[in-house]
Amino acid sequence: MSARLLLGAPLVQDRELSIRARVQDLASHGVVPTLAIVDATGQEAAARFARAKVRMCEKLGLSARTCRLPSSGSGGELLETLASLSQNPEVHGILLENPMPEAYRGLDAVTRIVPAKDVEGLHPFNLGHLLSGTGEFIPTTAAACLELLHHYEIPITGRQAVVVGRSSVVGRPVALLLLAQDATVTICHSRTKDLAHHTRQADILVVAAGHPGLVKAGMVKPGAVVLDVGMNFTEQGKALGDVETEGNLEVASAWTPTLGGIGPVTTILLLENVVRAAEKTVGT
153: left (phi over 0), alpha (psi -120 to 50) or beta: left
Residues sharing a CB contact under 8 Å with residue 164, sequence separation 6 or more, in sequence order: 171, 188, 189, 195, 199, 205, 206, 207, 208, 209, 214, 215, 242
Structural domains in the chain, sorted by start? 31-115 (3.40.50.10860), 140-263 (3.40.50.720)
Give the per-residue pLDDT at 235.
Answer: 78
Rounded to 10°, the helix 171-180/140-151 angle is 40
Q: What is the pLDDT confidence band of residue 143, given thresholds at 50, 70 and 90?
A: very high
pLDDT digits (tens, 9 = 90+) for 169-216: 999 999 999 999 999 999 999 899 999 999 999 999 999 999 999 999
Number of helical (H) and strand (E) elements in the chain, helices listed first: 8, 11
Calpha distance 94→91 (Å, rounded): 8
pLDDT digits (tens, 9 = 90+) for 90-130: 999 999 998 888 889 888 999 999 999 999 999 999 999 99
pLDDT of 1 > 70? The answer is: no
pLDDT digits (tens, 9 = 90+) for 49-88: 899 999 999 999 999 999 999 988 889 999 999 999 999 9
